[in-house]
Amino acid sequence: MDALDDLARFAHVDPTQTDAKTIHEGVDMVERKLWKALDALGVTRIDQVGAPFDPNLHEAVTTQPADHPAKDHTVGAVLQPGYQMGGALIRPARVVVLTWPGEAS
Q: Report the distance separating Cα 26 and Cα 77, nearest Å.
A: 28
Nearest to 80 by CA among 66, 63, 96: 96
Residue 7: its pLDDT value, please?
86
- The pLDDT tens digits of the residues spanning 12-32 come to 888 888 898 988 898 899 999
Q: Report the distance separating Cα 90 and Cα 95, nearest Å.
A: 16
Residue 104: its pLDDT value, please?
52
What integer is the mean pLDDT of 27-44?
94
**pLDDT cut 90: percent of the chain above it:** 69
